[in-house]
Copies of this chain bind each other. A is one copy, B any other.
Amino acid sequence: MDLATLIGLVGALGMVFTSILMGGDIGMFYNAPSIMIVFGGTIMVVLMKFPLNIMLSSFGVAAKAFVYKSQKPSEIIEQSIKLANVARKEGLLGLEGVEVKNEFLSNGIQLVVDGNDPVLIQKMLSKEISLSIERNEIGVSIFKAMGDVAPAMGMIGTLIGLVQMMSNMSDPSSIGPAMAVALLTTFYGAIFANTFALPIADKLAHRSNEERLNKSMILESISAIQEGLNPRMIEGLLNAYLSDKDKYSSNNKAA
């Protein structure tokens, strides 16, 4: 569960609402046509930009920004060292029996157990990494697109309001409220883009990057296990992926 996304979303909207309530009635910030043109219009335009099936999957993708949790890199190192020890004692076939939680690592070990050529395994797994990153980026780009389109739809709505107001200025006292309503679409567009769509896109991009780093570590670890590298060497190689204070040390865990 990624609390930061939830806390941030609730906190940002909370501050906006508090700020509105401190200035008076919240009712003046509600306008049905403005909501329709910003939210409905944004969905429709983003629908034009992406295929239907990708759009439909975007809700699930957004959820990922709230609940997804990448595996901790130190766990991957620990598991790799365990696998390397098994491989040195029992040979590559001995890896068959070891239980591996991470699916990507498990698939890779299976390819090793099946006796495939190291170069082919590297090629297959590298491609799987780059293609899964490409799929993640489509999820990111849907929310980036929402963040681009919402302010534009907000501006279109404001222009509609301004044209209607200016065509009909017989009653000066109505000018202020009419302009307030016209500005609401710009406000909705800015809120939707800046406190929802763009942060979700950035969080998803961050998750995708974590996934890429984890999978690169696994790729390297599989290659090292297949080459029969010293487990201590593998620890050194994989620790390069961690910052100094997160470095994994087998001494703390296994004797």
Contact = CB atoms under 8 A, between A and B. Distances in A.
Interface in A1-19: 2-5, 7-9, 11-12, 15-16, 18-19
Number of copies: 5
Contacts of A155: 190
Interface in A148-191: 149, 152-153, 155-157, 159-169, 173, 176-177, 179-180, 183-184, 186-187, 190-191
Q: Which has the most chain B C-beta neighbours within 10 Å: A12, A155, A183?
A: A12
Contacts of A46: 8
Interface stretch (A36-44, A74-82, A84-92): A36-44
Contacts of A36: 15, 18-19
25 contacts: A2-B52, A4-B48, A4-B50, A4-B51, A5-B48, A7-B52, A9-B48, A15-B36, A15-B44, A16-B160, A19-B34, A22-B33, A44-B195, A49-B198, A127-B237, A131-B240, A145-B202, A152-B193, A153-B194, A156-B190, A159-B183, A159-B187, A160-B187, A162-B183, A166-B177
Nearest to A191: B156
Interface of A: 2-5, 7-9, 11-12, 15-16, 18-20, 22-24, 28-29, 33-34, 36-37, 40-41, 43-52, 55, 65, 124, 127-128, 131-132, 134-135, 145, 149, 152-153, 155-157, 159-169, 173, 176-177, 179-180, 183-184, 186-187, 190-191, 193-195, 198-200, 202-203, 206, 213, 236-237, 240-241, 243
